[in-house]
A and B are shown apart, each in its own frame.
Chain A
Amino acid sequence: MTVSDTRPASEGAGSTAPAPPPAWQTWLRASTTGSRTFSVLVTAVLLVVLFGAGSVRYENFGTPQVVLNLFVDNAHLIVLAVGMTFVILTGGIDLSAGAVVALSTVMAARMLEAGWSAPLTVLAVLATGALLGWAMGAAVHHLQLQPFIVTLAGMFLARGLCFVISVPSIPIRDPAFTSLATNFVELPGGTFLTYSVFIALTVLIAAMWVLHRTRFGRTVYAVGGNENSAALMGLAVSRTKVGVYVISGTCSALAGLLFSLYMLSGYSLHGIGMELDAIAAVVIGGTLLTGGAGYVFGSLLGVLVLGTIQALISFDGGLSSWWTRITIGVLLLAFVVVQRLSTRSAGSSG
Chain B
Amino acid sequence: MTSARLQPSDGRDAPVVEMSAITVEFPGVKALQAVDLRLFPGEVHALMGENGAGKSTLIKALTGVYAYDTGTVTVAGEQREFSSPADAQAAGISTVYQEVNLCANLSVTENITLGREPRRLGRIDRRAARERARAVLARLNLRIDPDSTLATHPIAVQQLVAIARAVDTDARVLVLDEPTSSLDADEVAELFRVVRALRDEGVAILFVSHFLDQVYEISDRMTVLRNGQLVGEHRTVDLPRLQLIQEMIGRELTTLEDLERAATRQVPPGAVPRLSARGVGRAGALAPVDVDVHAGQVVGLAGLLGSGRTELTRLLFGADRISTGDLHVDGRPVRFRTPRSAIARRIGFSSEDRKGEGVVGDLTVRDNLLLAMQARRGWLRPIPRRTGDELVQRYIRALDIRPADPQALLRNLSGGNQQKVLLARWLLTEPRLLLLDEPTRGIDIGAKAQIQQLVAELAGEGMSVVFVSAELEEVVRICDRVVVLRDRHKIAELDGADTSVDDVVDLIARGGRS
Contact = CB atoms under 8 A, between A and B. Distances in A.
A1 B122 CA distance: 37
A1 B148 CA distance: 18
B178 to A, nearest CB: 15
Nearest to A290: B105
Contact of B184 (A4, A219, A235): A4
A6 B187 CA distance: 12
B165 A233 contact: yes
B157 interface: yes
Interface string A160-200: 00000000000000000000000000000000000000000
A16 B143 contact: yes
Given A235-B115, A349-B306, A16 B148 contact: yes
B145 A16 contact: yes
B114 A14 contact: no
Nearest to B308: A350
| Most chain A CB within a 10 A radius of its CB, from B89, B123, B188 | B123
Interface string B208-220: 0000000000000
A13 B187 contact: yes
Nearest to B164: A14
B101 A232 contact: yes
Contact of B151 (A13, A15, A32, A224): A32
Nearest to A294: B105
A33 interface: yes
A17 to B, nearest CB: 9
Size range of the chain A interface in the assembly: 35 or more
Contacts of A320: none
A22 interface: no
A32 B145 contact: no
A2 B154 contact: yes
A214 interface: yes
A221 interface: yes
A21 interface: no
B498 interface: no
Interface in A323-350: 346, 349-350
Interface centre among A13, A16, A229 (most CB of B within 10 A): A13
A218 B92 CA distance: 24
Contact of B157 (A9, A16, A209, A236): A16
B141 interface: yes
B86 interface: yes
Interface in B194-246: 194
A341 to B, nearest CB: 12
B155 to A, nearest CB: 6
B119 A15 contact: no
B152 interface: yes
Nearest first, the 6 A-B pairs at minimum CB distance are A3-B306, A234-B86, A13-B190, A225-B103, A225-B105, A13-B187
13 contacts: A4-B155, A5-B184, A5-B307, A14-B142, A14-B157, A31-B152, A32-B149, A213-B126, A214-B123, A229-B100, A232-B95, A232-B97, A233-B101
Given A14-B143, A222-B110, 16 more contacts: A1-B182, A3-B154, A3-B305, A12-B143, A13-B183, A13-B188, A14-B157, A31-B151, A31-B152, A215-B117, A218-B106, A218-B117, A231-B85, A232-B95, A235-B114, A349-B306
Interface of A: 1-7, 9, 11-16, 30-34, 209, 213-215, 218-219, 221-222, 224-226, 228-236, 292-293, 346, 349-350
